[in-house]
Amino acid sequence: FIDRHAREHWERLGLQPSEVCTDAEFVRRAFLDCIGTLPSPARITRFLASKDENKRAGLIDELLGLTGDPQRDLHTKEWVAYWAMKWGDLLKNNRKKAGDSGMWAMHNWIRQSLRKNTPVDQFVRELITAQGSVFENGPVNFIAYGPRPTDLPVVAPATDLAETTAQIFLGVRLQCARCHHHPFEVYSQDDYYGLAAFFTQLESKPTTTFGELGFDATVSVRGTGSIKHPRRGTIVKPKLLHGKEIDETAHDDLRTPLANWVTSPNNQLFTRNIANRVWAHFLGVGLVDPVDDLRATNPPSNPKLLDALARDFVSHKFGLKHLMRRIMNSHVYQLSSLPRPENAEQTRFYTHYNVKRLPAEVLFDAIDFACGTREKFPRVPLGTRAIELPDPNFESYFLDTLGRPQRIVACECERTAEPNLAQVLQIANGEVLQRKLTDENGRVASIVKRDLEDTAALRELY
């Protein structure tokens, strides 16, 4: 259905797509997009030599761990690490916000959820309704935060939680409606504070359960609490976006009806948002762009395709891997990155694969892999990859220069992709690259020691 809707759109606009990419392009693209990891030379050789007509689909299932064969499903660790990094960015998982214990708890919970292939609706519901210890229960750190490592975590302001929930899970930027009617949308201050009202009955209390292991607190529902409209001064009732007010007396935890509505199969804001975010990752730009700005005045480039993706996502029980498999198996995803001359400047209609920058962490790991070296990041074991780091507070000038986000805002735009001179200098003659190229145990040294012929040596390096 992806290819059908894309083809109909091309015909309507008089566009001609590029040819399908080569197997050599595809194997590299699939590995980097799906698990943030380069394929080994041996895996590339085996893939290119295969005569199996379905080898691309087979490779996709291997990368996603969906073959059911333990001998083939070998990339679970990399897939979990890469997508935990992406969720960590969105959820602002950061020790400066949550403390060391909270950050690790959230990171480990995300990884465990991905490892179990937890449906996205359940994943989001656990975040919105989280309570308990920030040390023991990772998703509580979505609700609570500690501004400095020495402070006890407190519940985030209801307004912040409303904005973050809307932007991450619904793709709606509500910030403007905090002070006035949204200039580009239908949302008013009533909508803004109605959403915030769902988070007003929470409290945090310190606990010494873990002693010197780290500061801890528990988040719980106290049953009372409200928020006032800033202009009228009246109490605002909990109200769903574009929906009805919620009877506060009917629920022990006001977040329960909110979570049920957010993750409902009938909530197009949620289903289209998740589908659009995953599509944007694999195709380089969202059907709605920016990905977290779904509104009537920012329509998708192909509405029928986005709706079909969302419906398919729901019909397959909110499975993240299913959504990825569906996209990667499409003809659209497998097009060449070389555009036809008339399509060179367009990115929104997917007539060719949109070339995109490697994320900083993926690039760092790729350099390590190519050079046959292992980086030692502070406070984690040797061999820990950049995509496995739980937050951005592991010192690396290279990663920061190449666009690693600091996880301060819940926006994918925080990960910078714009080039600058500092990045060029890092790649051209930076300390990291020089150190790895000249490592006495690295790939270049190994090739020299093995005294390979020039042709063989160059092929291995390439």
Cα 274 to Cα 270: distance, rounded to the nearest angstrom: 6
Look at residue 120 in the predicted model and tell me its pLDDT. 98
Q: Measure the CA–CA gap between 420 and 401, rounded to whole angstroms.
A: 9
State the pTM of this model. 0.94
How many whole angstroms separate alpha carbon 243 and alpha carbon 26?
45
Closest to 144 in 3D by CA, of 133, 120, 410: 133
Distance between CA atoms of residues 436 and 433, nearest Å: 5
**C-alpha to C-alpha distance for 124 and 411, rounded to whole angstroms:** 17
Beta carbons of 202 and 225 less than 8 angstroms apart:
yes
- Beta carbons within 8 Å of 76's beta carbon, 6+ residues apart: 65, 115
- What is the pLDDT at residue 240? 95
**pLDDT tens, position by position, 347-372:** 999 999 999 999 999 999 999 999 99
Strands, E assignment, 354-425? none
Whole-angstrom distance, CA of residue 198 vs CA of residue 4:
41
pLDDT of the chain along its 462 residues, tens only?
999 999 999 999 999 999 999 999 999 999 999 999 999 999 999 999 999 999 999 999 999 999 999 999 999 999 999 999 999 999 999 998 888 888 999 999 999 999 999 999 999 999 999 999 988 899 999 998 765 444 567 888 999 999 999 999 999 999 888 887 766 678 888 999 999 999 999 998 877 665 455 567 889 999 889 999 989 999 999 999 988 899 988 999 999 999 999 999 999 999 999 999 999 999 999 999 999 999 888 999 999 999 999 999 999 999 999 999 999 999 999 999 999 999 998 999 999 999 999 999 999 999 999 999 999 999 999 999 999 999 999 999 999 999 999 999 988 889 988 889 999 999 998 999 999 999 999 999 999 999 889 999 998 888
User: Cα dihedral sign for 249, 250, 251, 254?
Assistant: negative
Task: Compute how many other C-beta atoms are within 10 angstroms of the C-beta atom of residue 198.
Answer: 29
Q: Token pair for residue 390?
A: 């739980």
Count of alpha carbons within 13 Å of 237, Cβ hemisphere only?
Answer: 9
How far apart CA 124 and CA 4 sit, in angstroms, is: 31
Report d(CA 335, CA 351) in Å as an integer.
8
Alpha carbon of 411 to those of 153, 165, 172, 277: distances in Å? 23, 12, 11, 11
pLDDT of 149 reads 47
pLDDT attached to residue 148: 47
Tokens of 192: 């803004």
Q: What are the tens digits of pLDDT across the range 51-68?
A: 999 999 999 999 999 999
Return the structure tokens found at 449. 């020691």
Contacts of 183 (CB under 8 A, 6+ apart): 176
SS3 content of the chain, % helix, strand, coil (to 5): 50, 5, 45
Give the C-alpha distances (Å, rounded to integers) separating 132 from 122, 129, 211. 18, 10, 17
- CA distance linking residue 399 with residue 145, whole number of Å: 25
Beta bridge partners of 217: 206
For residue 90, what are its two tokens? Answer: 């969105």
Angle (CA) 273 292 396, round 5°: 115
